Amino acid sequence: MSTPFEKPQIISHIQKSLNYTIFDSKWIPCSAKFVCLGNLARGTGVMQIYEVARGELRLVKEIENAKPLKCGTFGATSLQQRHIATGDFGGNLNIWDLEAGEAPLYSIATGSRDGTVKVWDPRQKDTPVANMEPGEGHAFNAQDRCVCAGYDNGDIKLFDLRNMSVRWETNIKNGVCCVEFDRKDINMNKLVATSLEGTFHVFDMRTQHPTKGFASVSEKGQKSTIWQVRHLPQNRDVFMTAGGAGNLHLWKYDYPAQRSKEDSEGVSMGVAGTVNLLQNVTLSTQPIASLDWSPDKKGLCVCSAFDQSVRVLIVTKLNRV
């Protein structure tokens, strides 16, 4: 039943203007705090930690870095550690202990501007554990040890880290902006890939046909580039796309009745489901550069746009979709 009352609403909770260009924002696990990464006007990088308290943002800590910080992740850390790994424009990978200090725990020079995808293990500083062809965007899955990379010619490749091979590749005809698995700590289930001209594709990664590969469904979300896609951590079938025209779209993937069927030769092949738009809003006139769901509070998310502001949003009624 989708009466207007049932539909999720996207509510702007807090909006804060910043004095730098913000590239990425990430929630710190198990807290009401998030990290903003960006580029100060004087050309240096900045990392700020904000805490959400009583409808306002309180600056907890600010760290300046020699180079502008492009992106960060808590993906390589445990619940207890909460170390953030950041990448900067100088080609360095830094790992920071947010509670300890101003300087990174250690940094790794990777130089991704050479256009390769490298996989690093934080336990080993000197050599990347894997190194792949040019690309951008990546996702990682713990069960399969696969890395998926999208390329600006529209290629999407799935690398198997176990035996260092390309397990699957396809082309979505337009430059790939972002790829994400719906959940990182399960056997790969779904993959969303977004593109420059505003369509996105959802691949069902459970059944791989020898020639047809994975089944997929595509949807044209908006007229502008979709820069980011983020799955709701509490429900892998709900995801939000962030567009170049400052808009957010909330989608839900519905599985088909049968996720796989047999083709004429009796080989299993996947069946794609459908994608339904739950809600869409326009936030800003500028592209939205980053989006991150709170891993702890369902429906809470932070997003940053190139209008130099960070917003904390609340999405309601997510448990009813």
Partner 1 sequence: MSVSEVASLLNQDNSSATIGHHGKVPVEHLDYGYIEKCTHTKYLEKILRELRSGEEGMYPHLIQFCEDHLRTLDPTSRALRKEQPIATAGSLPTEEWTEISQDLQQWQEEAKDYEMSRRPSAMFHNAGNENIPPIRSSGASVPLGQNAASKAKKDPPKRALPRDYSQWDTFDVDRECERIDGNVSKKDTPAVINSGHVNIKPGVDVTTLTEKDKLLLADREKDKGNEAFRASDYEEAVVYYSRSLSIVPAVAVYNNRAQTQIKLKHWHRALQDCQRVLEQEPLNLKALLRRATVFQHQDRLSLAAEDLRAVLHVEPHNATASDVEGDDDVATEDEEKAEEHARPVDRRQLAGGEESVVTPVERGDMGNAQKKPHGGHHGDGASADTNHGSTGHFRRGRGGSWDKHKAAGETPGKAANGTGKRGSTASEHGGGGGGSKGGGGSAGVDLDAPCGALPPPLARLKNEGNLLFKNGQFSDALGKYSQAITGCTDSGLDSPEDLCILYSNRAACYLKDGNSQECIQDCTRALELHPFSLKPLLRRAIAYDSMERYRNAYADYKTVLQVDDSVQAAHNSVNRITRLLIEQDGPQWREKLPDIPLVPLSAQQHRREEPPTAEALQARADRTASDTARRAEVRFNALKLEGNDMVKKGRFQDALGKYTECLQLKPGECTVYTNRALCYLKMERFAEAKQDCDAALRLEPTNKKAFYRRALANKGLKDYLASSADLQEVLQQDPGVQEAEKELEEVTALLRQSLDAGAGASPPTAKPRKKVPITEVRSATDSTPRPPSQEVDNTASINLQPADAYEFGQSLNAARSQGNAAACAQLLSSVDPEQLPQLLGNQLDGQALGFVVEALDDHLLARDPGRVYRLLRHLRTADRFTVAVMLLETAERRRVTQLFAHLSAVQSADFTKDDVLNLANKYII
Q: Is 259 in the site for partner 1 (CB under 8 A)?
A: yes
Query: Least distance in Å: CB of 44 to partner 1?
Result: 29
Q: Is 109 in the site for partner 1 (CB under 8 A)?
A: no
Q: Is 159 in the site for partner 1 (CB under 8 A)?
A: yes
User: At 178, is the secondary structure helix, strand, or coil?
Assistant: strand
d(CA 81, CA 79): 6
Q: Is 70 in the site for partner 1 (CB under 8 A)?
A: no
Q: Comparing C-alpha atoms, which of 202, 197, 157 is closest to residue 173?
A: 197
In the beta sheet, which residues pair with residue 29?
none
Q: Is 142 in the site for partner 1 (CB under 8 A)?
A: yes
Which tokens sit at 12? 């702007």
Q: Is 292 in the site for partner 1 (CB under 8 A)?
A: no
Q: Is 165 in the site for partner 1 (CB under 8 A)?
A: yes
Q: Is 283 in the site for partner 1 (CB under 8 A)?
A: yes
Q: Is 153 in the site for partner 1 (CB under 8 A)?
A: no
Q: Is 30 in the site for partner 1 (CB under 8 A)?
A: yes
Is there a contact between 178 and 138 (Cβ–Cβ < 8 Å)? no
d(CA 86, CA 26): 11
Q: Is 186 in the site for partner 1 (CB under 8 A)?
A: yes
Q: Is 281 in the site for partner 1 (CB under 8 A)?
A: yes
Q: Which C-beta is closer to partner 1: that of 68 or that of 246? A: 246
Q: Which of 36, 177, 229, 269 binds partner 1 (CB under 8 A)?
A: 269
Query: Least distance in Å: CB of 46 to partner 1?
Result: 23
Backbone angles phi, psi at 73, to 5 degrees: -155, 150
Query: Least distance in Å: CB of 39 to partner 1?
Result: 25
d(CA 27, CA 150): 24
Instruction: Give, as ranges, the residues between 233 and 252 that touch partner 1 (CB under 8 A).
Output: 233-237, 247-248
d(CA 189, CA 89): 33
**DSSP of 43-64:** S-EEEEEEEEETTEEEEEEEEE
Q: Is 164 in the site for partner 1 (CB under 8 A)?
A: yes
